Amino acid sequence: MRLMLYVLLLTTALCLAGCQQQEKGVILQEDIASDTLASNIVTKPIIHAFSAIIGEGIEIDRAVTYVNKDGFMELEVAGHNRSFGTKRFEYKVEWLDKSGMVIASLTNKWMLTSAAGKSPFTIKAVAPRTTAVDFRMNTRKIPD
């Protein structure tokens, strides 16, 4: 009975700690921030295993394009990594002209990037020609 009480108290404390308001824009990784359910030494393996089972990974929040003062389209893709581990992956941005054709360019190559666990990330790209009006982006796992 006493053990159950301890576990209940611990869980409540961790939940309350996890609910603490964090400064927006500041990310405190595990082992740096105060313990939460996801980082506590007791509950961490269960939460991490659950995350892996449900297959948490990269999610894209928004892709913004704008034309810079020199007339080149710029792209900023913002997303976040839902998993606990760092995700390394490759991306390729292809630029399209007004007729929807891919603009042949050296910049249409697979580029390396990564996102730290439970953190946001940003990918930036610049069109190689002023004729670019749209884009498409692909991602892939880094070859082993």
Please report, as ranges, the residues that interact with another protein according to CB under 8 A.
Answer: 68-70, 72, 74, 105-107, 109-112, 125-130, 140, 143-144
Number of helices (H), then strands (E), in the chain: 2, 6
Give me the least distance between CB of 58 and another protein, in Å please: 19
User: 60's torsion region: left (phi>0), alpha (psi -120 to 50) or beta?
Assistant: beta
Residue 65 or residue 107: which is nearer to another protein going by CB? 107
State how far the Cα of 37 lies from the Cα of 53, in Å rounded to an integer. 17
Residue 30 or residue 134: which is nearer to another protein going by CB? 134
Give me the least distance between CB of 124 and another protein, in Å please: 8
Give me the least distance between CB of 81 and another protein, in Å please: 21
Task: Give Cβ neighbours of residue 132 (< 8 Å, ≥ 6 apart).
Answer: 72, 73, 95, 96, 97, 103
- Contact call for residues 117 and 83 (beta carbons, < 8 A): yes
Residue 6 or residue 66: which is nearer to another protein going by CB? 66
Give me the least distance between CB of 129 and another protein, in Å please: 6
